[in-house]
Amino acid sequence: MKRIIFCAVLCAGALFIRADEGMWMLNKIDDKTASAMQSLGLQLTPDQLYSTTHASLKDCVVDFSDFCTGVVVSPDGLVFTNHHCGYGAIQSLSTPEDDILTNGFVARSRKEERPAEGLFVKFLQRTEECTGRIMRALNEVYKAHPGEPTEELDKQYIDSIMGAVERELHKANPGLDCLVRAYYEKNAYYVSYYKVYRDVRLVFTATETMGKFGGDTDNWMWPRQTCDFSVFRIYADQNGEPADYSEENVPLHLDNYARIAMDGYKNGDFCMTVGYPGSTSRYLSSWGIDERVNASNISTIQVRGKKQEVWKRFMDADRAVGIKYASKWASSSNYWKNSIGMNKAIADLDVIKQKQQLENKIRGWYGSRKDLNDRFGEMFEKLEDAYGYRRNGVYAMGFFRETFLRGIELYRVANMLNSMPQDADSTEAAQVRSRMEAFFKDYDAKLDEATMADLLKNFREQVTDRQYWPDCYNVIDSLYGGDEAAYAHDVFAKTICTDLSAVEKVLADSTLRDTDPGLLYAQGIPTKMQEIGGRSRYASTIINFNEHMLTQALLEMDQETPHYSDANFTMRLSYGFIQDYTANGQHYQYYTNAQSLLDKAAKQGEIEDYKLEDDIVALMKEGNWGRYADKTTGDMHLCFLSNNDITGGNSGSPMFNGKGELLGLAFDGNWEAMSGDISFDDNLQRCIGVDVRYMLFVIEKWGKAENLIKELIR
């Protein structure tokens, strides 16, 4: 019961900590916090930011397909998000004959807007606390299992309790998605209610050279000139309610949408970002950070580096393959470079030492009080022992997942076929057919064969303990003399798993599961993964519970200091300023201009990521910015910096001024502070945004989409 009381105190309200740090829940912004924000330049009240009874700023911001954020910018459901957020849909709509990924796309009428299959947007209706409900259910579990370890019961039952609450709330709220999420390392719980629209259509995208300008070279770097935006429209039925795609659907009409700020900004101006940050680990222990750096990130860096070398050869050689793998490459490369930057920043900023100092402070706080020592006294010892016990398994599991689940794509096909029931008319078989059809649209067997050969060899070299190897290595060693390339060639030459006909072949002949080399290859992978995970399952349970207790100790120790919860892909607000920065003796100004883009484009013969089409270069050299010129500098600003606190998932998040007007879209962070998911550095951490005026300039001057300009600028 102590935990329930503690959570009630914890969640009573958020106070002001620093203007630049924090991912704050909009429904928890109290008068004191609002007053602090208003003193910095906010002209809105808490009720104008979040309300369940009238229009508020939250209603303009959408969850974009559960991986990004978007903002509604017109009364007819027009949505801005990042180019890289719309990238998968743009790629899916592209063909070698109609390569809109390369050439861009402009819908000059509603009829030309293209349905983006699989995309959806979610509007947050309200967020409510359900901590007491979850804790009461968990306490009943404790009573029913007296004497059993609390941490084991927590791990076993919390997720199922959350799921049961979601189902109950969904029944009571038909037409809404109800999602329960844990906050503060499972010290508090909230439920968010969403209305989901699934008819989303592509309206505008610039060329890939603009939307991805700088590519991997500039990713996570400043200065930037990336025109990272795309435009979609939400459609609904005649009553404005969610509906599957239909030609009868109409643009969603909204009275509340984000107005565009044409007056721009200057260094020091108030700026806030509202969006859906995905995941941070700011409360993680020093042992957890060490594991992230030396056991988890290392596999992402090493395996994806190898995989991307193979992919690039095939993508460069064949444009059709390049289109198929464009979105996969972007996702893989993004987290590959993120992991490299995170490891470097954690070392450069001595983040582990900082966390150890905080842990020593916590030891001193509880050490002199018996009641606190009884609760927290064994916490650090248990964390150290459990992290040490599972270290080798986490290292091996990282390489295993990156190789067999995320690297060699054949497994996805074979695993679906192995799991499919033999009944051709079953719902499950129909679902497999549908998933296979989508998969093979963006698949190349020759590329995958080469990937298999290289990654199997790499796994053997990186994970030398044979207990972590799947069964395919027994075949490779006994029948192919340890030659992974020969094995891969034979598998792909003989397997049925390289095209859509595989589904019907397995349904017609179940014995293929015992003879087909691709299906046999996949069979041993889930078993080995469960075996690796099973060895450290109890250690993981101890870690999860004691990380939760560590967070509780910190929050109790610092009750007078406000603490925001780690990101969990729920709507959050961060606020601060437009701000430049200095790192490693170099000063970086707070915006980039057209000349900086032209300077990089001049190097496109040396750096492929700086390629720009001639007409875009000419447009930038012309310098006719008109109403899009910044009133302070006279330049057209391309990208800009704020000290807002963001992470993955915030991509596409609107960046607002103090009036709640749209300044631009967040799309990246800076290299010097890549440790930000673990530890926020207020001197270095910056949010990189694309200026809305640059976006409008491209829509009007490059896209010549007067229809959109009239809709956007009123």
Element (H, E) at 688: strand 687-691
10 Å CB burial of residue 615 (0-12, 13-18, 19+) is: exposed
- In angstroms, the CA 405 to CA 411 distance is 7
Question: And the tokens for 100?
Answer: 């809109």
- In angstroms, the CA 54 to CA 288 distance is 43
10 Å CB burial of residue 351 (0-12, 13-18, 19+) is: buried
- In angstroms, the CA 345 to CA 338 distance is 10
Backbone angles phi, psi at 232, to 5 degrees: -130, 165
Given the residues 74, 651, 653, 679, select the one marked as catalytic.
651
In three-state form (DSSP H/G/I as H, E/B as E, the rest C), the secondary structure along 356-423 is: HHHHHHHHHHHHCCHHHHHHHCCHHHHHHHHHHHHHHHHHHHHHHHHHHHCCCCHHHHHHHHHHCCCC
Could you tell me if 43 and 658 are in contact, meaning their C-beta atoms sit under 8 angstroms apart?
A: yes
> Smallest Cα–Cα separation from 544: which of 135, 160, 189, 155?
155
- In angstroms, the CA 322 to CA 91 distance is 10
Q: Is 160 known to be catalytic?
A: no
Tokens 């590329």 belong to 447
10 Å CB burial of residue 382 (0-12, 13-18, 19+) is: middle
Given the residues 20, 59, 83, 84, select the one marked as catalytic.
84
Question: And the tokens for 454?
Answer: 């290289």
10 Å CB burial of residue 645 (0-12, 13-18, 19+) is: buried
- In angstroms, the CA 453 to CA 136 distance is 52
- In angstroms, the CA 361 to CA 384 distance is 17
The DSSP symbol for 21 reads: S
Question: And the tokens for 97?
Answer: 């004959």
Could you tell me if 44 and 659 are in contact, meaning their C-beta atoms sit under 8 angstroms apart?
A: yes
Q: Is 253 known to be catalytic?
A: no
Given the residues 59, 154, 228, 645, select the one marked as catalytic.
228
Q: Is 228 known to be catalytic?
A: yes
Could you tell me if 197 and 121 are in contact, meaning their C-beta atoms sit under 8 angstroms apart?
A: yes
> Is residue 575 classed as helix, strand or coil in its secondary structure?
strand
> Is residue 233 classed as helix, strand or coil in its secondary structure?
strand
DSSP 428-497: HHHHHHHHHHHHHHT--HHHHHHHHHHHHHHHHHH---GGG--THHHHHHHHSTT-HHHHHHHHHHH-ST
The DSSP symbol for 346 reads: H
Catalytic residue positions?
84, 228, 651
